[in-house]
Structure 1
Amino acid sequence: MKVVGISSSPRDVPGFDEMRSRDDLLNAVRDLDHLIMLTPHTPQTHHIIDAPILAAMKPGSFIINLARGGVVDETALIEALNAGHIGGAALDVFAQEPLPADHPFWSMKNVLLVPHLGGLSHDSSQHTMPALTHNLRCFLAGDIDKMVNRVAH
């Protein structure tokens, strides 16, 4: 298996065989069997996975979104899944959360829905629990300014 990363600032990253520029995304997806999104949702990444990117992907390839809902154009993804071009999708995040009860994803047999749990692991809880405990103590003490929104390493 070859692991290729896409980044706005390509650099060597442990665990990746190759890093490519975000500008090369359209070419990079042509050879992928699985596209896994882990990017933040910013104005630059909004709908970065859109109809042209999906059309460029190998027929039968899979999408896994662990990033943010706005990164993927859900309408384009639904069309690509219904057409059979994209073989399947595992989605942990959605443009609207919670996902509305009448959303097409619920009835699609080639879509696996996960309720925003993709980042949970034994290791993640070891990193997040200290921050949660710290924030709870700050909140209860009225020290809102001392609360953190990330784990300090």
Structure 2
Amino acid sequence: MVNTPTVVVLHDGTPPPEMARIAEHAELRYATGDELPQQIPGADAVFVWAFRSDALPTAWPHADKLTWIHSASAGVDRLIFDQLRDSPVTLTNSRGVFDQPMAEYVLGLVLTFAKDLHTTLRQQDRKNWQHRVTERIHGKSALIVGTGPIGRAIARQLTAAGLRVTGAGRRERTDDPDFGQVRSTDRLAEHIGEHDYVVLAAPRTPQTEGLINAEVLAACHPRTRLINVGRGELVVQPDLVEALRAGHLAGAALDVFDAEPLPPESPLWEMPDVLISPHMSGDTAGWTDELVDLFLTNLQAFARGGELVNIVDKQRGYVTTPA
């Protein structure tokens, strides 16, 4: 038997595209954060398009029928709160949509650093002809912090480009199919200095928040470049600024920040060896359609009482089943 669920689409003023496909399978209500408490009563599910919204905890007392929340994001740290964590409501995410685009973005950042492309563009803006010698990436080492699907896609992409890849995660092992060796994030300061590139692709959890702090940054080799496409909260930002000023590492490419947009007064804007992008590493042409397609797949399963994909372990804060 197929039911017609009632779904609230939580958006930030711009609803998702192509929702006509969804409307064939559900009764849709649209709500901004302010409107969610009025729209959520009687709803079976919430499609969180505005994944940075903090409206769910406020609307939670009005959710009298809710059994499923789907996030249009791979990270769900901004959505989980105590009442949701302790409830039977199922939470799913958009794992799989962003893996390969983010891997390609990271490779682009590695090449930008190695070939000094950011300096080339700055010199072009000044009409300044300045010959320089650049680096190879073949044979360089990269530590990928985060061994989920995004981290694995990055590992495969960098390996194909000739880098030697190691992982860092919750459990140490030596036989991982994508990383080979995986080291413990609890001992990051002991081995971070061995690597030319350190890529952060872990979710934000109580265990990873503030993972890259002054102690870890001081252990970096002066040649190391830090790339963060995970969550801004993984890095203690003032510690990173001081480490860059002190020469503890050679540069940083940051796509995520603890406050977004990055405030204009942040010293990171003015640092020559820092690359800043506005949380866009996974956003490629057609990505919004892919997010809607994934939600539709889960919605159809939900309507017939089938098994949903990408179920988040609400205690850990990420999907624990194999991709």
Superposition TM-score, scaled by structure 1 size = 0.79
Q: Bigger shift: 29-38 or 2-11?
A: 2-11
CA–CA distance in structure 2, aligned partners of residues 42 and 68 of structure 1: 10
CA contact (8 A) 1:30 1:57 kept: yes
Partner of 1:88: 251
Aligned length: 144
1:56 matched to 2:219? The reply is: yes
Partner of 2:183: 20
Partner of 2:208: 45
Q: Bigger shift: 119-128 or 88-97?
A: 119-128
CA–CA distance in structure 1, aligned partners of residues 281 and 228 of structure 2: 9
Please list every run of 5 or more consecutive structure 2 residues that lacks an aligned counterpart in the other structure.
1-162, 300-307, 312-322
Please list every run of 5 or more consecutive structure 1 residues that lacks an aligned counterpart in the other structure.
138-147
The Cα offsets for residues 75-106 of structure 1, whole Å up to 9 and x where unpaired, read as: 11101111222111000000101111111111
2:220 maps to amino acid: M
CA–CA distance in structure 2, aligned partners of residues 105 and 20 of structure 1: 29
Superposition TM-score, scaled by structure 2 size = 0.40
CA contact (8 A) 1:62 1:87 kept: yes
C-alpha RMSD of the superposition: 3.0
SS where residue 6 of structure 1 aligns?
strand
- Cα drift, residue 14 of structure 1: 2.9
TM alignment of 1:1-153, pairs within 5 A: 1-11=163-173, 12-121=175-284, 127-131=290-294
**Runs of at least 4 residues off by over 4 Å:** 121-127, 132-135, 148-151
CA contact (8 A) 1:33 1:62 kept: yes
Larger Rg: 2
The Cα offsets for residues 113-140 of structure 1, whole Å up to 9 and x where unpaired, read as: 01111123469667434136679x9xxx
SS where residue 250 of structure 2 aligns?
strand
The Cα offsets for residues 17-42 of structure 1, whole Å up to 9 and x where unpaired, read as: 31111222111202011100001111
2:167 maps to amino acid: G
